[in-house]
């Protein structure tokens, strides 16, 4: 917690929300709730996962290119989305303030799509059979955000467990 200064004196936890982070959080949470309502809580048993999750055999073999973007907005469970959105909020907010909305969103998209491309192109070579496995989650883009923060602020201390 930090103590504010000026006319709004008070305590505040975390970095606050920026417009792009708000939009990404809202999109992820909305689609997670849609998954829950439609019974799409886990891969392999829902239309949402089958159509929008990233399956290399479909994304590349059947040209379902939207999966390289849509997979980032689906999650495998509450813990999965909670950790991804927490990390996005904690670290993405500072990058968005530093780079601006447009540059941050471009970076987030490139790292997320790049993670999907790496998965689709390399995993079937490393582990045969994964071309029929579905990838979901914003973890690739979030790891891109974490990498940028680590490179830009290598001496930054991160306090865990409050």
The predicted pLDDT at position 14 comes to 62
The predicted pLDDT at position 1 comes to 45
The predicted pLDDT at position 48 comes to 86
Condensed to tens digits (0 to 9), the pLDDT of residues 12-66 reads: 556 789 999 999 999 999 999 988 888 765 554 578 888 999 999 999 999 999 9
* Beta-sheet strands, E only, within the chain: 2-3, 11-12
The predicted pLDDT at position 123 comes to 92
Average of pLDDT values for 81-98?
A: 96
Distance CA 112, CA 88 (A): 12
Can you say whether residue 157 is alpha, beta or left, with left for phi > 0 and alpha for psi between -120 and 50 degrees?
beta
Condensed to tens digits (0 to 9), the pLDDT of residues 114-157 reads: 999 999 999 999 999 889 999 999 999 999 999 999 999 999 88
The predicted pLDDT at position 92 comes to 96
The predicted pLDDT at position 158 comes to 81
Among 30, 49, 52, CA closest to 41: 49
Helix (H, G, I), strand (E, B) or coil at 85: helix
Instruction: Give the Å distances, CA to CA, from 69 to 94, 113, 127, 149.
Output: 23, 6, 23, 23
DSSP string, 86-127: HHIIIIIHHHHHHH-HHHHHHHHHHHHHHHHHHHHHHHHHHS
Report pTM.
0.85
Average of pLDDT values for 58-83?
A: 95
The predicted pLDDT at position 103 comes to 98
> Which residue is associated with the tokens 């996005």?
88
Query: CB-based burial of residue 143 (10 Å sphere; 0-12 exposed, 13-18 middle, 19+ buried)?
Result: middle
Query: What's the token pair of residue 95?
Result: 């990058």
């Amino acid at each position: 917690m930090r103590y504010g200064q000026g006319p709004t004196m008070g305590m505040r936890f975390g970095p606050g929300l920026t417009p792009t982070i708000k939009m990404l959080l809202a999109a992820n949470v909305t689609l997670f709730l849609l998954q829950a309502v439609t019974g799409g809580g886990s891969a392999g048993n829902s239309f949402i996962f089958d159509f929008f999750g990233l399956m290399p055999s479909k994304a590349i073999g059947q040209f379902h290119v939207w999966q390289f973007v849509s997979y980032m907005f689906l999650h495998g469970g509450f813990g999965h989305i909670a950790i991804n959105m927490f990390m996005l909020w904690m670290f993405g907010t500072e990058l968005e303030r530093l780079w601006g909305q447009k540059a941050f969103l471009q970076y987030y998209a490139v790292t997320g799509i790049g993670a999907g491309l790496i998965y689709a192109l390399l995993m079937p070579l490393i582990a045969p059979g994964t071309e029929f496995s579905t990838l979901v989650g914003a973890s690739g883009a979030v790891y891109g955000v974490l990498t940028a923060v680590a490179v830009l602020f290598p001496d930054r201390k991160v306090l865990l467990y409050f």
